[in-house]
Amino acid sequence: TVGFGGEYDIPDVPHAMRLSSSGTFIHGNYWYLPGNPPFGRQGTSHGCVGLRDVQGGQGDTPSKWFYDQSLIGDLVVVKNSPDDTIAPDNGLNGWNMGWSEWVAGSAV
């Protein structure tokens, strides 16, 4: 993740999908405490959206299901989060803005 150096370098993160060029991902999370999963209750992320998973990404988990069902360009909405929407220029990604905004800045 941008700005966090090696302390957040987990080489085997399963089912990782990039949402922005600046480092926002949706990915599997297997390293939480099994008796106290953070999903939907705790703000323990460095800016990513973590979904329950297992190490190696094998098995029937929410993260695998989401990964298998998603397509490039799918809109991602995170509900009940105090954080702001990703800015359209965060990664210069056309999928982060509406069509009217996109064509307003083009030569079309």
- For 87, the token pair is 């800015």
Spot the catalytic one: 27, 57, 64, 66.
Answer: 27
Residue 86's SS3 state is coil
Spot the catalytic one: 48, 53, 86, 96.
Answer: 48
Rounded to whole angstroms, how far apart are CA atoms 71 and 1?
22
Q: Is 48 annotated as catalytic?
A: yes
**First-residue to last-residue Cα distance in the chain:** 35
Q: Is 103 annotated as catalytic?
A: no
**Cα angle, residue 99 at apex, residues 95 and 93 outer, rounded to 5°:** 25
From the CB of residue 12, how many other CB atoms can be counted at a distance below 10 Å?
Answer: 10
- Residues serving a catalytic function are 27, 48
